[in-house]
Structure 1
Amino acid sequence: MRLKQILLGATLVGFMTAVPFEVMGSTVSDNARSFLFFGKKKNKKASAGAESKSEPVKSSYDKILTDTATVTKGMFNVIHNGDSYYFEIPRALMGRDMLIVNKLVRVPRELNDAGVNRGINTSNQMVRFELDGKGKRVMVRQSRPRPVVDPNDAIARSVNDNYIDPLIASFPIEAHNSDSTSVVIKVNDFYNGNKPTFGDVFGDINIGTPAVSDLSRIVNIKAFENNVYALSELTTRVVEPGGAVNITVEVGSSLVLLPEKPMTGRYASSRIGYFTEELLKYSDDQQRVGKANFITRWRLEPRPEDMSDYMAGRLVEPVKPIVFYIDRSTPAKWRPYIRTGILDWQKAFEMAGFKNAIQVRDFAEGEEGDEDDINYSVLTYAASAKS
């Protein structure tokens, strides 16, 4: 009973050196030769020892990147060697904003029956990777939305001091690459359930119990051009009056690099319905703390060469249209209707000045695209009695 009650409330990383001896201008007797020969024995050992020490010493990076290791190249190179997973993080990406997006990939019957299905987004958070002052650790800082303030106002200094972003994780640096442009960290504990810092799936779906370490594991981690994707199989145990119940889920966690130049925020208007985010607002002129609501929206922008037409009210195509993919598990008979329902929004975007702003495509079998790449917005079809 407890499990059902909990679930129904759910919201959704030597050679020997042969030095010939010479006796200049003299003849060496057999006894002398014997003496000299055996006298060289210690030197031979010393020479061999000295030579073995001169063999190239493997760097920490070489010890990780052995012949048995596999590397997936992308935003971070992902190194997999045995049971260990590593991120090779370019120093150039330190301090950049990144978004963690966690989704359910596979769920058991108990969650499915409660309407917690595959494809549900369980949590998001924005983070930045930083090097510590000594260059021995990589720190992860949660990047929270800051209050709105004019940087030229005196109060901006106080806002900066009163809303510091917290550190949430720390990794020892395991190695540096050959030219020291990247650092290598081991990420196992952050995806195998031991440290739910990047996403506490059982907490997020209101079960609240921790992952069982010997029943949880990393299935795979791979890299894409602007993101890294980790697939984990995590198990928890819930105790009910009738006994313990094991709950196993597969969770996909994407770490995606956000644009270096953020999109300009747009204030909400009561005349138009939007989902919004509320932020505090400070200024030197105010007598009390204000609030500002910003709309959540797609980044639809006209091409620079089309800007004059766009400003004149003529329809233009966006730089990056909104593309939805229909996942491979969707029955073929329903796909035309799903496509029509999505494309019905085309008229609304035309009122905003864009044509062909929204598109729908099938994820065909054998297609090169990878559904695990967060750049693909995939419409998930759930086989469930509740959704």
Structure 2
Amino acid sequence: MKCGILAASGCALLALAAMTGAPAAAQAGVQTVANADGLLPVRVNAAEGRILVTLPAPDREGISGRFLHATALRTGLGSAAIRLDHAMNGPTRILAFRRLGKKIAISFENPRFRATGDAAGQTGARESFPFSTVWMADIVSTEPDGGVVIDIAPFLTRDVMDIAGSLNEGGKGFKLVDSLSAADPGSVKIFPDNIEMEAVQTFQSETPGKEVETIASDPRQVSFVVHHSLVRLPDAGYQPRRFDIRAGGFGSQVFDFGTPLGQDVVYQLANRFRVEKIDPTAARSRVKKPIIFYIDRAAPEPVRTALAEGVGWWSQAFDAAGLIDAFQVKILPEGVDPLDVRYNVVNWDNRLTRGWSYGQVIADPRTGEIVKGSVLLGSLRVRQDMIIFEGLVGAGEDNSGGPNDPVRASLARIRQLGAHEVGHALGFVHNFAGSTQGRSSVMDYPAPRIGLTNGRIDLSDAYATGIGDWDKFTVDWLYGQPAPGVDPDAAAHAKAAALQASGMRFVTDIDGRAPDTPNPWGSMWDDGPDPTAELIRMMAVRRVAITNFGPGVLRQYEPLANLRRKFVPVWLLHRYQVDAVAKLIGGMDYAYAVAGDGRPPAAAVPAATQYAALDALLATLSATELAVPDRLVGPLSSGVNGRSDPQYDIEIFKNAGAAMFDPLVAADVAAQVTLDTLLAPSRLIRVYEQHRRDASLLGLDALLDRLMAATVDARHDAVGRRIAHRTIVTLARTARDPATSVDVAAVIDDRLRGLADRLARSAGKGEDAAWCRSVAHLLRDDERLERELAKRPRAPAIPAGMPIGGAEMGWIDEL
């Protein structure tokens, strides 16, 4: 495509004057790109900072043009806690230029609310909901054909991405400073279907907060380069696809007040790229315009190649759907702007500490058509994978090329991550059930499959290779094209019904992300078809890993203090499988169903499965499992000085003063991992209610009996008492949680009162007797108990786990 890049210079201006025949003095500071194919005529005045755009003559409604408007951050904050990342998108809106007297109003329209049908109905829907005017521009001049010229530069300095709001999540009082903000005329680039522009925006605060203070060169004044894309509205040739709850896509919500009675007013249009077969009659055909994703050159090797390989897996799914070469991967050419809306890009993003990666889309809000896919991959995530794998097998395996090489395993994870996040940018949501059906989807959060071979850790099958069966279905559903004359939505509906009938599972964020949800098949970072069996196996792996752990996991000359960081993911190796198993307790097997699809009704997880799950969870609370070997306390107590890595500070267990490692804190934390999810209010409510309806199912009394026997009654040493203490305090907190039902709270309170009476009768002078009397006093003293429950933090902090090398702050724009 032709491109005009505006870069003012003296030579360029003299040349321009010569070409136009205008005096050089009259042209001073102004440059025009004579590009007949450009979206709009643009002139810039670098000296005055003006960007003059010529708009078409207003129509009868006063509209001088409608465009897609998208924004992204050229420069980010570099913070995992405050989401202002390099290449992060803002919302995509319909921007309208409307003439009002001597001014042009720049407004964001509200196409979510509409009415299919006649003009009167459309007008009624449009006028029932507000639009947003975000700038009033003076008309600089009027063209002979009625076109109008405005200076768009002031609009570009508006905080349309709400950067101030994001900064104020970590600080207070951040405001845009107009005097320190300006559009950049030299950034303007013109193409046939888009104009790219940028502005510097500066935000000021006297109370910026710790996160900004840690990162910014002057935390009181933080500046960003904000990228704006003005894009031609896609033409009417796109065929929208209705969202289907069963099919794994996401969509743009519509309120259509013109739908016939008996049809939904609120529905979604699936987000997808426009993919059209060259030969629509052929079962297999090349496409008119393939989807091409480009890998950011900022990603270093060998990561860049691994990303390209993983992202390229999607070509398998498109090919299976009969779309030949419809999906391609390339390295971003040198000189190409990754924020240019014409390019789908996998961006490499750096932050102070590790955080989520995520996939984003720029989509037409009228139809759901994806115009650009953009992925942000956090660069530190692969480093975390290295820490995990080195903690398991030792740094001596680094770059060995063998099956236990941490580099090899980490690059396998990067391939998965690239495929996963590009999946979001193609229009797909998470499927957290993929791990339960043979790694059927890259849209799951995959746990590394850590094997035991002859008693040794084995990473040879840490991650799957290639696209999954679920992913092939979703591509066929979203992008597959039926034969001419067949209704596309009807064909997609039939595909979704066939898939559901096949037994393939689908559990997305609303039912899989939180650890207290009841669906037994949807969890993050879990593995295997039987969650309980996998937890038992994972605990065996953990025992071997702890037995092997020591200074040998470090690289040569690596500070011994780094053992503390590598110890955490090994010690908590089971943490996510615990969540998966807990979902069986009070669990309910259900699917995303539609009327008439023949799906059986939701059913409780069988009693035997629930009891087995409870026993496996209680085994993780054994003092034997949670006692740190004495031989590790010395190496884990090595000192550290200098300016530490901020990531290190948030990913180690709290010490017992200075460098002294506290093994009882490690026991506390591991116990709390299990107790938090097992005793979640919603889970105990479901257990109570299921037993009320069916006495054969696990009930609250039986759960508490087994819990007390495995913790309070099983204590024999200091570690056992710490586990028992955490159990009692967590029960007390659950009883007082506003989310806990009256019935459940009453049962727990009665159980704790009985326990207090029993412990108070303890005789003797030993440590256990003293513990018994202390706990009894705590449970009987409401004020003291309330103080204990009000402590912040309420328990030793569980070090950061997610992402362990994978997604999303959420699901689509997340992660």
Give the structure-2-normalised TM-score.
0.35
Does the CA contact (< 8 Å) of 1:100 and 1:256 recur in 2? Answer: yes
Partner residue, 1:222: 188
Unaligned regions of 5+ residues in structure 2, if any? 1-21, 214-218, 356-815
State whether structure 2 residue 292 is matched by structure 1 residue 323: yes
Q: What residue identity is the alignment partner of 1:170?
A: M
> 237, 259, 264: which one pairs with 2:204?
237
Structure 1 pair 64/316, CA: closer, same or farther in 2 (3 Å)? farther
Does the CA contact (< 8 Å) of 1:326 and 1:379 recur in 2? Answer: yes
Distance in structure 1 (CA, Å) of the matches to 2:107 and 2:295: 35
- Compare the two structures and name the one with the higher helix fraction: 2
Structure 1 position 344, deviation (Å): 0.8
Partner residue, 2:316: 347
Partner residue, 2:267: 292
Q: What residue identity is the alignment partner of 1:224?
A: I
Structure 1 position 155, deviation (Å): 5.2
Distance in structure 2 (CA, Å) of the matches to 1:65 and 1:260: 39
Q: How does 1:38-77 map to 2 (within 5 A)?
A: 66-72=27-33, 73=35, 74-77=38-41
> 83, 105, 109: which one pairs with 2:74?
105
Distance in structure 1 (CA, Å) of the matches to 2:262 and 2:280: 40
Does the CA contact (< 8 Å) of 1:155 and 1:284 recur in 2? Answer: no
Does the CA contact (< 8 Å) of 2:242 and 2:268 recur in 1? Answer: yes
Q: What residue identity is the alignment partner of 1:238?
A: S
Partner residue, 2:748: none
Structure 1 pair 151/386, CA: closer, same or farther in 2 (3 Å)? same
Distance in structure 1 (CA, Å) of the matches to 2:154 and 2:81: 30
Distance in structure 2 (CA, Å) of the matches to 1:154 and 1:230: 37
Q: What residue identity is the alignment partner of 1:89?
A: T
> 161, 186, 192: which one pairs with 2:151?
186
Structure 1 pair 64/116, CA: closer, same or farther in 2 (3 Å)? farther
Distance in structure 1 (CA, Å) of the matches to 2:134 and 2:145: 25
Structure 1 pair 140/218, CA: closer, same or farther in 2 (3 Å)? closer
Partner residue, 1:257: 232
Q: What residue identity is the alignment partner of 1:159?
A: A
Structure 1 pair 190/285, CA: closer, same or farther in 2 (3 Å)? closer
Structure 1 position 62, deviation (Å): 9.7
Unaligned regions of 5+ residues in structure 1, if any? 1-60
Structure 1 pair 172/263, CA: closer, same or farther in 2 (3 Å)? same
Structure 1 position 283, deviation (Å): 4.1
Structure 1 pair 171/279, CA: closer, same or farther in 2 (3 Å)? same
Distance in structure 2 (CA, Å) of the matches to 1:348 and 1:167: 43
Does the CA contact (< 8 Å) of 1:153 and 1:284 recur in 2? Answer: no
Does the CA contact (< 8 Å) of 2:84 and 2:163 recur in 1? Answer: no
Structure 1 position 237, deviation (Å): 1.6
Partner residue, 1:17: none
- What SS does the aligned partner of 2:306 have? helix
> 351, 364, 378: which one pairs with 2:345?
378
- What SS does the aligned partner of 1:80 have? strand
Structure 1 pair 64/187, CA: closer, same or farther in 2 (3 Å)? farther
> 269, 272, 288: which one pairs with 2:244?
269
Partner residue, 1:212: 177
Partner residue, 2:115: 149
Structure 1 pair 204/354, CA: closer, same or farther in 2 (3 Å)? farther
Does the CA contact (< 8 Å) of 2:203 and 2:222 recur in 1? Answer: yes
Partner residue, 2:164: 202
Structure 1 pair 91/155, CA: closer, same or farther in 2 (3 Å)? closer
Distance in structure 2 (CA, Å) of the matches to 1:324 and 1:362: 8
Q: Which region of structure 1 is more displaced relative to structure 2, 165-174 or 249-258?
A: 165-174
Partner residue, 2:256: 281
Q: What residue identity is the alignment partner of 1:271?
A: R
Structure 1 pair 161/189, CA: closer, same or farther in 2 (3 Å)? closer
State whether structure 2 residue 94 is matched by structure 1 residue 126: yes
Does the CA contact (< 8 Å) of 1:107 and 1:117 recur in 2? Answer: yes
Q: Percent identity?
A: 21
Structure 1 pair 380/215, CA: closer, same or farther in 2 (3 Å)? same
> 26, 29, 42: which one pairs with 1:78?
42
Distance in structure 1 (CA, Å) of the matches to 2:84 and 2:259: 47
Q: What residue identity is the alignment partner of 1:299?
A: R
Distance in structure 1 (CA, Å) of the matches to 2:309 and 2:316: 12
Structure 1 pair 328/97, CA: closer, same or farther in 2 (3 Å)? same
- Compare the two structures and name the one with the higher strand fraction: 1
Distance in structure 2 (CA, Å) of the matches to 1:288 and 1:299: 26
Q: CA RMSD in A?
A: 3.3
Structure 1 pair 71/113, CA: closer, same or farther in 2 (3 Å)? farther
Q: What residue identity is the alignment partner of 2:165?
A: G
- String of CA shifts for 1:297-347, please: whole Å, max 9, x gaps: 1111123xx1221xxxx2212211111112221113212211111111112
Does the CA contact (< 8 Å) of 1:90 and 1:181 recur in 2? Answer: no
- What SS does the aligned partner of 1:151 have? coil
Does the CA contact (< 8 Å) of 1:171 and 1:185 recur in 2? Answer: yes
Does the CA contact (< 8 Å) of 1:88 and 1:182 recur in 2? Answer: no
Q: What residue identity is the alignment partner of 2:194?
A: N
Q: Which region of structure 1 is more displaced relative to structure 2, 233-242 or 100-109?
A: 233-242
Does the CA contact (< 8 Å) of 2:108 and 2:134 recur in 1? Answer: yes
Q: How does 1:83-102 map to 2 (within 5 A)?
A: 83-91=48-56, 95-102=64-71
Structure 1 position 350, deviation (Å): 2.6
Q: What residue identity is the alignment partner of 1:222?
A: V
Distance in structure 2 (CA, Å) of the matches to 1:329 and 1:145: 37
Distance in structure 2 (CA, Å) of the matches to 1:149 and 1:115: 36
- What SS does the aligned partner of 1:117 have? coil
Structure 1 pair 77/275, CA: closer, same or farther in 2 (3 Å)? same
- String of CA shifts for 1:343-368, please: whole Å, max 9, x gaps: 11112223433111111111243x5x
Does the CA contact (< 8 Å) of 2:77 and 2:84 recur in 1? Answer: no
Q: What residue identity is the alignment partner of 1:378?
A: V
Q: What residue identity is the alignment partner of 2:89?
A: N
Does the CA contact (< 8 Å) of 1:216 and 1:235 recur in 2? Answer: yes
Structure 1 pair 181/362, CA: closer, same or farther in 2 (3 Å)? farther
Q: How does 1:22-41 map to 2 (within 5 A)?
A: none
Structure 1 pair 80/64, CA: closer, same or farther in 2 (3 Å)? farther
State whether structure 2 residue 142 is matched by structure 1 residue 176: yes
Partner residue, 2:543: none
- String of CA shifts for 1:199-257, please: whole Å, max 9, x gaps: 43323565573211222222334132222222222211223289972222221111111
Partner residue, 2:129: 163
- What SS does the aligned partner of 1:202 have? helix
Structure 1 pair 87/302, CA: closer, same or farther in 2 (3 Å)? farther
Q: How does 1:328-339 map to 2 (within 5 A)?
A: 328-339=297-308
Distance in structure 1 (CA, Å) of the matches to 2:124 and 2:179: 47
Structure 1 pair 285/120, CA: closer, same or farther in 2 (3 Å)? closer
- String of CA shifts for 1:8-35, please: whole Å, max 9, x gaps: xxxxxxxxxxxxxxxxxxxxxxxxxxxx
- String of CA shifts for 1:164-201, please: whole Å, max 9, x gaps: 64443321210234x43642111232123xx43x4433
Structure 1 pair 378/126, CA: closer, same or farther in 2 (3 Å)? same
